[in-house]
């Protein structure tokens, strides 16, 4: 078992850390106030090579894989969980095309996705519920060489900044429902952003509706096979979305731990830093343990994806554990800082608000536990 990163991964992680500290950090206050994504950061991420990490080299990307993408997300999340969530959702949009796209679609879109010309979303969830994708109302009807899609997706990250998306729609009703995944871009009429959501956390990570109104999509823009769209979507959500959310969780936990340690060493009570108090030390130890356990689960799940050996239970396990741990760690950070933990100046309250957003992302915690339980009960 080798727990060391490759030289290339270490350099990428260092580059992401510097990018976060030098380029993203100065924009966080603005993002918190305006709840808007700075568009120039996406171009900067493209120029830095971050957007092409999942894209194979033959299509203009780096082809470094899932673990590399997770390391980037984690480093950026230490500074801005909102920008990290936005980035990991771009990876989700790219992953479905890498995994299930035809050569035609890969040649058409992947070079642009690597550069940032295209910013792709994943569009599955509807008001009927993300945990029950088979109940979706979005439908596609074949008309010659095109499909006409009508529907409304909700809780779509990057719905306004994105200009492409994979979209799942119902393509057959009888004798049983079938769903197909399409890759759509904004040059196709009828593809637009809808209302924006007002959130307690992830301020600056735009999220809202994606509307398809008589949107005509060429038949060759189908991802995978016709009628197999749910499998295409769930593979991307499992292997990119859930592992990406884990990466965001890791960054938030590290930032919260760092803030708590810094405060405990500086805050003096009874003539000495509160870091000397055993009660504070126990809290710090609990935070550290949860972070390290989450890292091991997350890194292993990402590595398994890169080895072609991943299963849904690995991703569900790391996602549910890391997101629950992030909430515990951020609550503890606020407790250690007392009244100061509730002040925006000290940022711990932002870490807590962001952590509260994680459990429902890429599948709720309860759904993750069902996936893990089914795997365990089947003996796999």
Distance CA 251, CA 83 (A): 11
The H or E element spanning position 321 is helix 312-337
pLDDT score recorded for residue 135: 87
User: Looking at 119, 135, 169, which one is the last position of a domain?
Assistant: 119
Contact status, residue 346 vs residue 337, Cβ threshold 8 Å: yes
Do residue 238 and residue 362 come from a single domain? yes
Q: Is residue 2 part of a domain?
A: no
Give the SS3 label for residue 12.
helix
pLDDT score recorded for residue 310: 84
Distance CA 295, CA 165 (A): 30
pLDDT score recorded for residue 133: 81
User: Looking at 226, 243, 261, which one is the last position of a domain?
Assistant: 226
Distance CA 365, CA 91 (A): 21
The H or E element spanning position 17 is helix 7-19
Do residue 210 and residue 305 come from a single domain? no
Do residue 243 and residue 281 come from a single domain? yes
Do residue 215 and residue 279 come from a single domain? no
Alpha helices in 60-202 (DSSP H): 66-79, 81-100, 103-115
Do residue 267 and residue 373 come from a single domain? yes
pLDDT in tens, the chain (380 residues): 889 999 999 999 999 999 999 999 999 999 999 999 999 999 999 999 999 999 999 999 999 999 999 999 999 999 999 999 999 999 999 999 999 999 999 999 999 999 999 999 999 999 887 788 888 999 999 999 999 999 999 999 999 999 999 999 999 988 889 999 999 999 999 999 999 999 999 999 999 999 999 999 999 999 999 999 999 999 999 999 999 999 999 999 999 999 999 999 999 998 999 999 999 999 999 999 999 999 999 999 999 999 999 889 999 999 999 999 999 999 999 999 999 999 999 999 999 999 999 999 999 999 999 999 999 999 87
Do residue 364 and residue 284 come from a single domain? yes
Do residue 135 and residue 145 come from a single domain? yes
Do residue 125 and residue 115 come from a single domain? no
Domain containing residue 183: CATH number: 2.40.110.10
- Tokens 């991943």, located at residue: 310
pLDDT score recorded for residue 336: 98
Nearest to 85 by CA among 93, 76, 96: 76
User: Looking at 98, 119, 140, which one is the last position of a domain?
Assistant: 119
Do residue 143 and residue 256 come from a single domain? no
User: In whole angstroms, what separates CA 1 from the centre of its chain?
Assistant: 27
Domain containing residue 281: CATH number: 1.20.140.10
Report the 10 Å Cβ neighbour count for 136.
24
Contact status, residue 138 vs residue 151, Cβ threshold 8 Å: yes
Q: Is residue 332 part of a domain?
A: yes
Q: What is the domain count for the chain?
A: 3
Do residue 372 and residue 261 come from a single domain? yes
Q: Is residue 109 part of a domain?
A: yes
Contact status, residue 256 vs residue 81, Cβ threshold 8 Å: no
Q: Is residue 174 part of a domain?
A: yes
Q: Is residue 112 part of a domain?
A: yes
Its domain, for residue 109, covers 7-119
Do residue 140 and residue 106 come from a single domain? no
Q: Is residue 1 part of a domain?
A: no
Nearest to 346 by CA among 357, 358, 330: 330
Do residue 20 and residue 46 come from a single domain? yes
| Residues near 148 by beta carbon (within 8 Å), at least 6 away in sequence | 140, 141, 214, 215, 216, 217
Q: Is residue 353 part of a domain?
A: yes
Both tokens assigned to 58: 């033959």
Distance CA 119, CA 165 (A): 8
Nearest to 166 by CA among 208, 224, 116, 112: 224
Domain containing residue 88: CATH number: 1.10.540.10
pLDDT score recorded for residue 357: 96
pLDDT score recorded for residue 129: 72
């Amino acid at each position: 078992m080798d727990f060391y990163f490759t030289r290339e991964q270490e350099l990428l992680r260092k580059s992401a850390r510097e990018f976060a500290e030098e380029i993203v950090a100065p924009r966080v206050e603005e993002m918190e106030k305006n709840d808007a994504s700075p568009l120039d950061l996406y171009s900067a991420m493209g120029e830095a090579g971050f957007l092409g990490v999942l894209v194979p080299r033959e299509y203009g990307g780096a082809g470094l894989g899932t673990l590399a993408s997770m390391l980037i997300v984690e480093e950026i999340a230490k500074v801005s969980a909102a920008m990290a969530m936005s980035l990991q959702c771009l990876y989700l949009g790219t992953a479905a095309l890498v995994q299930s796209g035809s050569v035609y679609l890969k040649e058409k879109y992947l070079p642009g996705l690597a550069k940032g010309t295209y910013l792709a979303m994943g569009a599955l969830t509807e008001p009927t519920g993300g945990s029950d994708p088979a109940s979706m109302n979005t439908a596609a009807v074949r008309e010659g060489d095109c499909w006409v899609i009508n529907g409304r997706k909700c809780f779509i990250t990057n719905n306004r900044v994105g200009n492409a998306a994979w979209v799942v729609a119902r393509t057959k009703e009888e004798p049983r429902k079938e769903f197909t995944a399409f890759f759509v871009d904004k040059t196709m009429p009828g593809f637009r952003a809808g209302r924006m959501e007002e959130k307690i956390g992830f301020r600056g990570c735009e999220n809202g509706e994606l509307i398809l109104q008589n949107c005509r999509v060429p038949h060759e823009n189908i991802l995978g096979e016709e009628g197999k769209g749910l499998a295409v979507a769930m593979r991307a959500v499992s292997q990119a979305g859930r592992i990406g959310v884990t990466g965001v969780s890791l960054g938030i936990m590290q930032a919260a731990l760092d803030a708590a340690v810094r405060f405990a060493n500086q805050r003096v009570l009874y003539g000495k830093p509160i870091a000397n108090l055993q009660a504070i030390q126990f809290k710090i130890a609990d935070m550290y343990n949860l972070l390290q356990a989450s890292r091991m689960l997350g890194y292993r799940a990402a590595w398994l994806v890169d080895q072609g050996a991943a299963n849904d239970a690995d991703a569900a396990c790391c996602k549910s554990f890391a997101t629950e741990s992030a909430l515990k760690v951020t609550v503890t950070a606020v407790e250690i800082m007392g009244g100061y933990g509730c002040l925006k100046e000290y940022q711990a309250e932002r870490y807590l608000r962001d952590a509260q957003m994680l459990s429902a992302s890429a599948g709720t915690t309860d759904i993750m536990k069902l996936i893990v339980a089914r795997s365990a009960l089947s003996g796999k």
